[in-house]
Amino acid sequence: MHTTRMLGAALLTLGLAAAPAVADSTPSPSGDSSAPTEAGTSFRTATEVDQGRTATANASAGDYLYWSFPADAGQRPTVKATVKLPDTHAAETWQIDVHDGLRRRQACQYGPQTRTAAANTSSVELACTLRPVRAWSEPWANDPLPGTYYIRLTAVGLPTSDLGLPVSTEVRVDGKDIGGSAAVDGSLAEPLVPGAAARPEEDSSASAVLSSIEPEDGWASGWWSDRWVWTAVGGVLAALAGVGGYALTRGSGRPPRA
C-alpha cells in the first residue's frame, strides 16, 4: 500500500511538471495603443514590434516594409500579415520574408508565404511559421537562433499600373513555447542582436544597437528548458520503482522454521 501511494504521488508530480510545456505565450490585446503604426524601409530602419501585438502601417504598392521582433530559444514564431488593397487594382502577388539577426533568410515551416490577389480583391493574407529557435547551432547551419528577426513585406512582379496605389497593412507576431523538444546542449554567448557600430572610444559604456527589444523575461540563452524537469521526474520514478521492486521481492523477512 505504501508503494502504491508513492507511485501515485510521483504520477501527480509528473502531470504538474508537464503542464507548462504546452502553454502558448499570452498575446496582448489587439487594440493596444502602444503598437507601432508605421514600418521601416530597410533592415536598419525596421520598426520594432513585440510578440503578441499587431503593427499597422499605410504605404504604397511597390514599397518595401520592414519590422523587427525578438525570438528566444525554444520558441516557434509565427508571422501573419494582412494587406488591404484599393477598390480597383490588377492582379498582385505579395510576399512576406523573415530574416534572422545575421540577415539570413529563414525558411517557413508552413504557411502561405506568397499569395496572388486577383483583380479588385479587397485584401490578401500571408503567414510564415518558422522552425523552432535553437539555443545553439553549427556555424555552417542555417538554423534559427535567439536574437532579432526582421519581417519584410512587399509586392513582387507588381504591374506598372498599380505602382504607388495606397495600401494598408497589418502584421502580427506570435510565439509558441514548444518546450524541451527543441533543447540542445549548448548556447550562444550573446543573442544575435545586430549592432550599428562598435563602441565609441570616448564612451566605452555605450554601444549603438539596431534593435533594443528583447523578450519580456529577458534572453534565456538556452540555459533552461523543461527537459530538466522531465529528467528529474524520471529519476524520481526510477528510484520509486527500485523501492517498489525491493518491497515486492524481499519476502516476509522471517527465518524458515526447522
**pLDDT tens profile 161-209:** 999 999 999 999 998 887 655 566 567 767 888 764 334 444 444 444 5
CATH number 2.60.120.380 is the correct assignment for the domain at 23-219: yes
**Where do the domains of the chain lie?**
23-219
Contact by Cβ (8 Å): 226, 233: no
Residue 181 DSSP one-character state: G
Overall size of the chain counted in residues: 258
**How far apart, in whole angstroms, are the C-alpha atoms of residue 157 and residue 92?**
7
Apex 230 CA angle, 225 and 234, nearest 5: 155
Task: Give which of 223, 182, 220, 218 is closest to 21, Cα–Cα.
Answer: 182
**How far apart, in whole angstroms, are the C-alpha atoms of residue 14 and residue 18?**
6
Calculate mean pLDDT across residues 29-36. Answer: 64
Per-residue confidence (pLDDT) for residue 185, from 0 to 100: 59
**How far apart, in whole angstroms, are the C-alpha atoms of residue 101 and residue 95?**
20
Per-residue confidence (pLDDT) for residue 240, from 0 to 100: 78
Per-residue confidence (pLDDT) for residue 244, from 0 to 100: 76
Residue type, 28: S
Percent of the chain with pLDDT over 90: 46
Which contacts qualify for 189-194: CB closer than 8 Å, 24 or more apart? 191/70, 191/72, 191/101, 191/145, 191/146, 191/147, 191/148, 191/219, 191/221, 192/100, 192/101, 192/102, 192/145, 192/146, 192/147, 192/148, 193/101, 193/147, 193/148, 194/101, 194/102, 194/103, 194/148
- For the record, the C-alpha cell of 109 comes out as 515551416
Q: What's the pTM value of the predicted model, to 2 decimals?
A: 0.69
Per-residue confidence (pLDDT) for residue 27, from 0 to 100: 40
Percent of the chain with pLDDT over 70: 67
